[in-house]
Amino acid sequence: MKKFNLNIQGARGICTLMVFFGHATGAYNIPWLQNHMNNPLRLLLDGHAAVIFFFVLSGYFYYTDKCITLKQYIYIIIKRVTRLIPSYWVSIIIGALLCNYYLKYGISQDNNVSHWFASFWNEPVTWSRFLNESKVVFRHAPSNEFINPNSWYLNVDFKMMVIIPVIIFLSNKTYWWLSGVIVFLSVMTTTQCWVAIFLMGAIFHRYQERLFVIIGKHRWFLGVLSVVGVILWDVQTWSGINTNIASNMYRMEIIQAVGVILLLTVLLFLSDLPILTSRVLLFMGRISYEFYIIHFLFLAGLMPFISNTCMYIAVCFIGSLLSAVLLHNGSEWVTFKVLNMNIVGWLKSPK
């Protein structure tokens, strides 16, 4: 099995497109689309399901069977922060300018705009608000009040970046069944399920080889895992769960995470699949974070100026794509410079 399976990169690309088209089509009231939202194909427009995939995958890559030192732990945090923060800061600068322009000139949305999309950018961005949101974490506001609403993802990701490696370290030093207990308690309390979802990815990584041995003897099992995985990942379509109730939402996300793990089992076991390793999907997978963090600003900023739905989606997609490439290249440059500083390099050393 390859060190990095390209199927995963392609799956990232698909999830990135799911988020974009879910938000883009959700911005307008589109009757024919809304009348078919109980169709299984709804999954292709389920941006929240895509985020669950990214969270499980992050937990998967956090796992290591080696006990890292404190210096290495700090290095991992610095590496991830320098990878994510610059693009986010650029996004809220752009978002602040667009939001204030949007409000200053009284640009109105027409009646075709969905109630969900109309809930964003209703207040001007002040300096205090901008500085508060630049912190990424410890922001006390609903995500629809953020300059960049998608940044709720970073709030979760940064907290898990600190917590999950510590749990993995302790599990390596003691017993891994304790991680299972943490997952169980997180699910039962239903106050915060993100620890469980990230940790489920890490636990899967630890035991995946044992699962692969079983699958190697019964390859027909791959088909079962694929079908069940998609069904569980798409639980919101067929279950009728009322996600307006917080506890129901948390449990649904746990079920989706189980579905993602089943699908990851298939993707990691198989060699690179042509349908997932096309140049387009691999490219989208590489710039997935930057595309995610910038696309909503185009959707919100350009809506009042483009009345045709298809044209609106096409322009927003192209603008997001080009911006994501620039952000990705800039982020890689910043990360390279920071990680090559003497003090950061010293943190990387195991001694």
Structure token digits, residue 267 = 């993707």
Tens of pLDDT along the chain (351 residues) come to 345 688 999 999 999 999 999 999 888 877 666 666 666 677 888 888 999 999 999 999 999 888 888 888 888 899 899 999 999 999 999 999 988 887 776 665 666 788 888 888 888 898 988 998 898 887 777 777 889 999 889 988 999 999 999 999 999 888 888 888 888 877 777 556 788 999 999 999 999 999 999 998 888 889 999 999 999 998 887 777 666 666 677 888 899 999 999 999 999 998 888 888 899 999 999 999 999 999 999 998 888 888 788 898 999 999 999 999 999 999 999 888 888 887 777 776 665
Instruction: Find the largest Cα–Cα distance for the chain.
Output: 66
Let me know if residue 242 belongs to a domain: yes
The per-residue pLDDT for 257 is 94
Let me know if residue 287 belongs to a domain: yes
Structure token digits, residue 89 = 């800061």
DSSP conformation letters of 188-212: HH-S--HHHHHHHHHHHHHHHHHHH
Domain around 279:
6-348
pTM for this entry:
0.90
Q: What angle do CA 50, 142, 107 make, to 5 degrees?
A: 90
State whether residue 224 is helix, strand or coil. Answer: helix
Let me know if residue 334 belongs to a domain: yes
State whether residue 172 is helix, strand or coil. Answer: helix
Query: How many domains does one find in the chain?
Result: 1
The per-residue pLDDT for 220 is 86
The per-residue pLDDT for 102 is 78
Buried b (16+ CB within 10 A) or exposed e, 269-281: beeeeeebbeeeb
Give the chain's end-to-end CA distance (angstroms, integer). 30
Let me know if residue 1 belongs to a domain: no
Q: Quote the CA–CA distance of 171 and 143 in Å, as a whole number.
A: 33
The per-residue pLDDT for 245 is 64
Let me know if residue 332 belongs to a domain: yes
Let me know if residue 285 belongs to a domain: yes
Let me know if residue 102 belongs to a domain: yes
The per-residue pLDDT for 2 is 44
Let me know if residue 31 belongs to a domain: yes
Residue 122 host element (H or E): none
Structure token digits, residue 144 = 């629809």
